[in-house]
Amino acid sequence: MKRRLVGSEMGPMTQLDENAPPCVHEKQILSLCAVHCTNNILQLTGSDRVTRSGFNSIAENLAPNAWINPHKSMFGLGNYDANVLIRAIQHKGFNVDWYDRRRRVNSETIPVDTDETIVGIICNRPTRSLMGLIKGAHWYSIRLLEGKYYNLDSYLSYPICLSSVGIVHKHLQDLLDSSPEANILLVRKPTQQVSNPGHDLALETTAAQNEEVAPTTSMVAKLDRFTQEIDD
């Protein structure tokens, strides 16, 4: 079975998983990992895909009067923060929950094997560039595809199979243990049908664009910190 890959062929080489199903797996371009992560976790193609222009539109609506927008790179490279990423997913009708990183990851706290509302998991890990002088972060997604979970990190050349629920949980716990700045988001199925899910974010001009991300209770405590700390 041939795999359908969407995006550039940039990224480090990894071992090809011959059993990986056809899927959307965008590769890293510039600092657009939040865009790639959204398309990968929601498996968006064609006119349904989220775009850099759409993410820019969201960021600008979150801070319409700011000289320097705190939600994205001032150089137009991407570096979108959690507010923009969550807003983009919500625009597609899906729900996003912060995971309480103080809790150990297991089948009770992240029941990917029993909770059918979970579409996938978004991971955020800190990064540093220019010899560690510039602090940033990287978004990537883990998603269920044909009965198995796959790491769809845009830095990978191919999806990597996480062959059991235990391995998924270990990957997530190792991520949280690696840094106090690492975080996990759970993406859940929409609670109601989206009227036009294929509408590109760059074209959306409804009143909802002028509102901040509608946070759940678990999101409130972290959004302000993410606005400043997570920029890719």
- For residue 21, what pLDDT is reported? 77
- For residue 66, what pLDDT is reported? 79
| pTM given for the model | 0.73
Domain of 156 in residue numbering reads as 33-191+211-229
Q: What is the CATH number of the domain that holds 127?
A: 3.90.70.40
> Active-site residue among 33, 36, 91, 169?
33
Is position 58 within any domain? Answer: yes
Q: Are 82 and 223 in contact (CB under 8 A)?
A: yes
Is position 68 within any domain? Answer: yes
Count how many residues are written for the chain.
232
Is position 23 within any domain? Answer: no
Each residue's pLDDT expressed in tens, for the chain with a length of 232 residues: 334 444 333 333 234 465 667 899 999 998 889 999 999 999 999 999 999 888 888 888 877 887 887 767 667 677 888 989 999 999 999 999 999 999 999 999 999 988 999 999 999 998 866 555 567 789 999 999 888 899 999 999 889 999 899 999 999 999 999 999 999 999 999 765 444 433 344 333 333 333 343 343 334 334 444 333 434 4
* CA-atom Rg of the chain in angstroms: 17
Look at residues 122, 116, 107 and name the one whose alpha carbon lies nearest to residue 165. Answer: 107
Is position 179 within any domain? Answer: yes
Known active-site residue 33: yes
- For residue 103, what pLDDT is reported? 95
Structure tokens at 31: 């600092």
> Active-site residue among 25, 71, 138, 169?
138
Is position 67 within any domain? Answer: yes
3-state SS, residue 67: coil
- For residue 78, what pLDDT is reported? 73
Is position 203 within any domain? Answer: no
Is position 8 within any domain? Answer: no
Dihedral over Cα of 26, 50, 142, 189: its sign: negative
- For residue 206, what pLDDT is reported? 32
Look at the chain and report how many structural domains it folds into.
1
